[in-house]
């Protein structure tokens, strides 16, 4: 199946990404609710891990469910010697079962497609009103559909440490909440910025955690947004001897990385203390 033979997005065409081609296919299967053998798949990019984790890119595929044909059985086959009158009086109509789970999955898929398309329209409208050259593309990730922003003004759209991108995502979801009663949050990405930022924060968190373990002194990171604070907390969740907490208010809220809390032993009075 060539790329030109794929229908448009509204007809079911989807692009999926993953760490490997197999991972992308697995995500596509979960999205459509079908097995691997029930998909038409075209590999766009096999992906690469890069060198020492740098310069890598994810694998990408295009997928669409195969059109299923009704099964042919002996009962459905025409018997030899069957007269025309018999054919008209007793037409053979093969039964094509329609599983309820499939119907629900198709309806959910259409609702999700409409929802993400509306979010795309809102995001591009906001960028246009702000005088910024940028466009949104619908992509499928591990957590479902999201919008990937690109354009000539991408650095302005992202802003310092992603603050403008966070604000755009917040406004898009607020508008979406009023325009779609079945609202669910839509995430925004900007050409892999958030993925790189998350990896950078995770590395920083582990580096600071080692320093805390070595010195026994707490370290406060710079103020971070809610998603970035969550990234730090999750990165250090399983690190032995490290405790994290968020302090501060509003935009000044930050994560403090601390050594384990020391328990103070109660003082026991000896003979000299009794008097």
The mean pLDDT value for 135-145 works out to: 87
CATH code for the domain in which residue 212 is found: 3.30.1370.50
131 plus 175 within the same structural domain: yes
168 plus 206 within the same structural domain: no
**Is 76 within the bounds of a domain?**
no
114 plus 243 within the same structural domain: no
| Residue scoring higher pLDDT (33 or 138) | 138
List pLDDT tens digits, range 206-229.
999 999 999 999 999 988 888 889
**Is 51 within the bounds of a domain?**
yes
209 plus 222 within the same structural domain: yes
Burial degree of 77 (CB within 10 A; 0-12, 13-18, 19+): exposed
List pLDDT tens digits, range 86-135.
444 444 444 444 445 555 555 567 777 888 899 999 999 999 999 999 99
Give me the pLDDT at residue 275, please.
41
pTM, two decimals, is 0.52
Q: How many CB atoms lie within 10 A of CB 87?
A: 11
Range of the structural domain that residue 22 is part of: 3-66+104-189
pLDDT over threshold 80, residue 15: yes
Q: Report the range of poorest mean pLDDT among 44-48, 256-260, 263-267.
A: 263-267
List pLDDT tens digits, range 36-58.
778 888 888 777 654 334 445 67
Q: How confident is the model at residue 168 (pLDDT cuts 50, 70, 90)?
A: very high
Give the percent of the chain with pLDDT over 90: 33
**Is 264 within the bounds of a domain?**
no
State the chain's mean pLDDT as an integer. Answer: 77
The conformational region for residue 205 under phi > 0 = left, psi -120 to 50 = alpha, else beta, is alpha
Decide if 27 contacts 142 (C-beta within 8 A). yes
Handedness of CA 232, 238, 239, 245 (dihedral sign): positive
At 39, which helix (H) or strand (E)?
strand 39-45
């Amino acid at each position: 199946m060539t790329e030109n033979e794929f229908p448009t997005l509204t007809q079911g065409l989807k692009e999926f990404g993953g760490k490997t081609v197999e991972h992308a296919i697995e995500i596509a299967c979960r999205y459509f609710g079908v097995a691997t053998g029930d998909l038409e798949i075209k590999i766009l990019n096999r992906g690469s891990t890069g060198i020492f984790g740098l310069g890598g890119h994810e694998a990408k595929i295009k997928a669409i469910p195969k059109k299923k044909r009704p099964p042919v059985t002996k009962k459905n086959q025409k018997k030899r010697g069957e007269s025309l009158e018999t054919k008209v009086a007793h037409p053979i109509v093969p039964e094509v079962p329609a599983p309820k789970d499939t119907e629900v999955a198709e309806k959910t898929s259409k609702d999700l497609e409409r929802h993400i398309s509306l979010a795309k329209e809102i995001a591009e409208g906001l960028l246009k009103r702000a005088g910024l050259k940028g466009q949104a593309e619908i992509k499928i990730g591990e957590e479902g559909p999201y919008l990937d922003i690109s354009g000539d003004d991408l650095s302005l759209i992202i802003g310092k440490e992603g603050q403008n991108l966070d604000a755009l995502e917040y406004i898009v979801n607020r508008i979406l909440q009023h325009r779609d009663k079945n609202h669910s949050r839509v995430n925004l990405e900007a050409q892999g910025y958030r993925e790189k930022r998350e990896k950078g924060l995770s590395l920083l968190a582990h580096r600071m955690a080692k320093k805390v373990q070595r010195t026994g002194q707490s370290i406060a990171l710079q103020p971070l947004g809610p998603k970035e604070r969550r990234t730090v907390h999750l990165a250090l969740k399983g690190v032995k001897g490290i405790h994290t907490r968020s302090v501060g208010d509003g935009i000044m809220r930050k994560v403090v990385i601390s050594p384990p809390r020391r328990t103070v032993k109660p003082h026991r009075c000896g003979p000299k203390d009794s008097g």
